[in-house]
Structure 1
């Protein structure tokens, strides 16, 4: 059997409306480690690389006047961003202390795992999915 073409997710890229606000949200509120930050003058754009886990990063971009997301969450394209957490109750409590409100916890009918959603500064749906049962 041939090896799979794709090995893993390397990164996810997001365009934000307010770079400073989103940088603070992802690095301070969610605690992602900043790998590098670059200003690209020719594009009037910031690019921030954040580490999600070893080998997986989140790229945060700013561009002048990006159009808003058409609707939430069933717009064509990216539906939501999901992060695995070992204990959803701890994650929700930590986010609440940092001013982030999560939706009520639901249970995945197929896996039995618990999950919830909250929104980033641009109203992008972010899911927390409990990785342990």
Structure 2
């Protein structure tokens, strides 16, 4: 049996590197582990951590093709972040110019959740624990 230990990282390709870098670092609070410019690919690779855990590789490539990204599109549905207080988290996002959908209740767990988007429209979720 394959013995997976954890999810190592999530790779995201962005269209506007400075904007996405600022979003994930300045708005969401990820820490930069390493930033590399790969001349042969004309691409940045930004390694990001959250609370000391490596999570996201943010890439830039020249002219990446568009991909359907709404929650019901085939493929990755969304990326979810756990929060302690969803109302306070939504207020912090709003202060930074990021709007969220109305808070909903998960009918299976009774927990609160909401969606918002990154600069490229990637659906992101806050889920209250």
- Asked if these proteins are the same fold (TM beyond 0.5), I'd say yes
1:126 aligns with 124
**Superposed displacement of residue 70, structure 1:** 2.3
**Superposed displacement of residue 71, structure 1:** 4.7
1:15 aligns with 13
Picking from 75, 78, 82, the partner of 1:77 is: 75
Runs ≥4 residues deviating over 3 A: none
Q: 1:54-65 counterparts in 2 under 5 A?
A: 54-65=52-63
Picking from 67, 74, 82, the partner of 2:65 is: 67
2-structure distance, mates of 1:21, 1:33? 16
State the superposition RMSD in angstroms. 1.3
The two structures have a TM-score, normalised by structure 1, of 0.92
Picking from 97, 101, 104, the partner of 1:103 is: 101
Q: SS at 1:122's partner residue? A: coil
Where does structure 1 lack aligned partners over 5 or more consecutive residues? none
